[in-house]
Structure 1
Amino acid sequence: MPSIHPPIGRIGYVLKRYPRFSETFIVNEILAHEAVGQEIDIFALRPADEAHYQDILGRVRASVTHLKDRFCGPDPVWDRMIRARDLVPGAWDALAQIDGIASGQDVAQALELAIAIRARGITHLHAHFGTVAASVTRLAAAMADVSWSFTAHAKDIYHQYETPQHLDLKLQDADVTITVSDYNLAYLQKTHDVGKLVRIYNGLDLTRFQYAPPRMEATEILAVGRLVEKKGFHILVEAIKLMVEAGHTPSCTIIGSGEERDDLAAQITNSRLGEYVRLEGPRPQSEVIEAMRGAAVLACPCVIGADGNRDGLPTVLVEAMALGLPVVSTNVVGIPELVRDRKTGLIVPDGDPQALADALVSMAQDPALRASLSKAARNLIEAEYDVTVSASALRCLWAEAIARQSNTKRSAA
């Protein structure tokens, strides 16, 4: 077991929304920091828009500050500028150097965040996703003269946004950028002018995901995730149809909610698959874990969306593999780093329902394959996806960034 980096100062996490039902990887990370005594403050830039919340949220001790995100006229921004004049003198210089990419809303929230940084003694800011959270973090860190970093995932890297997100500028300005797969790292290095860029996999609390060999009598095909195009659940439904037409009697449960629910329900009805496929809606993580323990295989048929959106490395795959549930997924972005074909799972081409159907049938009919994939998958998770280790690596990078910032200040004094 590698040595664990100790707590460092006080860290501010900047997130677009908190909590988000689908972003358990952020909660896992925060909990891992808190487990070693790391002080965390969470700042949310937009109201939470979730109807359901994960049960692990109650374990987070960090305070959550929802920064005001709606302003009427210039007065609220001006009020923040007046407050910053005495509390954050560097804000004036930072504002004078704005390069035209920040909106008025970003500036107002950055001012409020910079004031909180000074008041709470925060020594480093970390954002998740290279969009608005990184925009506000970048500006607030410059105003308060602290170091900053962000984690780039997938949508923020590959999605074609109507409004430019200036990812190049953030990659250059951040003290360090983290991304969650080697695929992402290679892509960013090839397509952007990057500064310090490091790959750290999204980790999992393995004490909550105890391994058990796959149940040989299980038959259920399970899928878990937001009902959006990039998850590829429409491909899964088509694969189930092909299995039925070939004489099989599959049973498939899809857990999750999202904008594609009505389309999926219509697809199931039109294909006469009502007795084979069930849309269960969202479930708390404890119920998802229970469903995984009873299933035969997890189907994660990710695709690249029409707008370029795609999954980087779905947390649900890490969870299933940690528990011992065999998985079938696709060759999208960083997934093959985790699901290594016929070693830790089965990989099929994205958007290919026949290949997906064949893989699901193979998994169901070959108990020896399921057992070998299950054990190898758990070994990989223990070696590379332990959140204790990934959070420690993140703290190490923060400590280096804080030290460089301190050295710069001493040199300038």
Structure 2
Amino acid sequence: MSLSSPGGATGHRIGYVLKMYPRFSETFVVTEVLAREARGADIELFSLRLPNDGRFHDTLSRVQAPVTYLPHTRLRAAELWETLARVNALRPIGPDALTALLAADARDAAQAMELAVHVTERGITHLHAHFGSVATTVARLTSLITGVPYSFTAHAKDIFHASVEPADLAAKLADAHHVVTVSDYNVGHLTDRYGSAARRVYRVYNGLDLSAHPYRDPVDRLPLIAAVGRLVEKKGFDVLLEACALLVARGVRFRCRIAGTGALAGELTALAERLGLAGTVEFTGPLPQPRVRELVGAAAVFAAPCVVGSDGNADGLPTVLLEAMALGTPCVSTDVTGIPEVVRDGETGLVVAQRDPAALADALAALLADPTLRVGLARAGRALVEREFDAAVQAGRLDALLPPPPVTGPPVPAAVAAL
């Protein structure tokens, strides 16, 4: 258990359901858990997959919540039957839950039943999943089995990608006690697409630990363009490389460093070579959070040329934009999804159309050349982050969405004592 008293400050014992924990690219999960723990929340983490990265951020060591890794291999028939019997002994499975289990993928159903055992034995009173995909599938099934309410945070791929099944997401939205999403754009999308099923969707921006991101005016910085993110289509790094080639052709002096790894690493490296950017653009590979802050905090400009991918996938609102703004690095980004909610053109940053390397080059050149413009945008950006994206404030907003806590905790069947 966490170090807070049972039930914590909220009166709840919250079970976070995550596809994989920890995940190098999902710093927002750790930030959120830490901020809620700082408020006294009693949290346990349940991961559906074992971590496969091997790289971990320094903040991970501060998380108090214990982690349980649910079995994720496909069970043999006898094991599945045994799990079903164990769950039914703890809490008889109702017809609605049984129907949903039978309709689910066998692995999802098995993990939901295993999670139901933990929820009942440990007195979990609320479940919260990140991403409306498999983690929410398991949380919803567990909720049907146990009667413990669930919520989830919808981000981007889980609502925009072509693989999203509308009927499945609609059921998750309708059955959740509440749903959190990371931008007003996402709220509008879900409401327009799913109508009354999305009536309990609330916007809560991802939070940032401001103490870890000290502000510094970008006056005397070297002509460095920084970019951070997975090397995948939606990040638009191919457009950034084309913009860099235009800047070189114009005689602009600068360097560009792109931090991250991903499926397009080889293609992007080859494109940089074809564009003659050797010595100008560097791919650093993935960096831990302190190195990311060092890179971004030293740059004259941060570039996030996000695009809507060919599969419909898009960023919701990249956390690294918030980090850059907090550090005092002015941002250039695109008019994709919720990004203009934080990068407000001419106020807190510069916004260009997606897939427009010439416009991106113009914006980057303007910031590289004009310290006064950099400082003005940077100060306004930091002020916005302080008002709207403080992790401590966001944690309070998440806690406020929880249902009233059970007076005496969830009923625990006598069969628990025999296990």
Q: Do both proteins adopt the same fold according to a TM-score greater than 0.5, normalized to the shorter chain?
A: yes
- 2:129 counterpart of 1:123: no
- 2:240 counterpart of 1:230: no
Could you say which residue in structure 1 is the equivalent of 2:155? 153
Q: Is the 8 A contact 1:249 1:276 kept in 2?
A: no
Could you say which residue in structure 1 is the equivalent of 2:276? 272
Alignment of 1:167-316 (within 5 A): 167-193=169-195, 194-316=198-320
Change (3 A) 1:204 1:352: same
Give the Å deviation of 1:208. Answer: 1.1
CA distance in 2, matches of 1:81, 1:88: 11
Tell me the C-alpha RMSD between the 2 structures. Answer: 1.9
Change (3 A) 1:163 1:9: closer
CA distance in 2, matches of 1:281, 1:99: 41
Q: Deviations over 1:68-94 (max 9, x none)?
A: 1112421221111111122122x3444
Give the Å deviation of 1:322. Answer: 0.7
Q: Is the 8 A contact 1:241 1:271 kept in 2?
A: yes
Give 2:28's aligned amino acid: F
**Runs of at least 5 residues in structure 2 that lack an aligned partner in the other structure:** 1-7, 411-419
CA distance in 1, matches of 2:335, 2:9: 37
Give the Å deviation of 1:325. Answer: 0.8
Give the Å deviation of 1:272. Answer: 1.4
Could you say which residue in structure 1 is the equivalent of 2:362? 358
Q: Deviations over 1:259-281 (max 9, x none)?
A: 11000110111111111000000
Out of 139, 156, 160, the position equivalent to 1:137 is 139
**Runs of at least 5 residues in structure 1 that lack an aligned partner in the other structure:** 408-413
Could you say which residue in structure 2 is the equivalent of 1:107? 109
Change (3 A) 1:311 1:125: same
Give the Å deviation of 1:96. Answer: 2.9
Q: Is the 8 A contact 1:255 1:282 kept in 2?
A: yes
Give 1:132's aligned amino acid: V
Q: Is the 8 A contact 1:44 1:67 kept in 2?
A: yes
TM-score (normalizing by structure 2)? 0.92
Paired residues in the alignment total: 401
CA distance in 2, matches of 1:189, 1:163: 16
Overall identity of the aligned pairs, in %:
47
Give the Å deviation of 1:405. Answer: 12
Q: Is the 8 A contact 1:130 1:151 kept in 2?
A: yes
Change (3 A) 1:309 1:385: same
Could you say which residue in structure 1 is the equivalent of 2:24? 21
Out of 95, 98, 101, the position equivalent to 1:96 is 98
SS in 2 for 1:151: strand
SS in 1 for 2:135: helix
SS in 2 for 1:308: coil
SS in 1 for 2:402: helix
- 2:93 counterpart of 1:83: no
Q: Deviations over 1:360-407 (max 9, x none)?
A: 00011111110000000011001000111111111111144x469999
Give the Å deviation of 1:231. Answer: 0.5
CA distance in 2, matches of 1:135, 1:217: 47
SS in 2 for 1:280: strand
Give the Å deviation of 1:97. Answer: 3.5
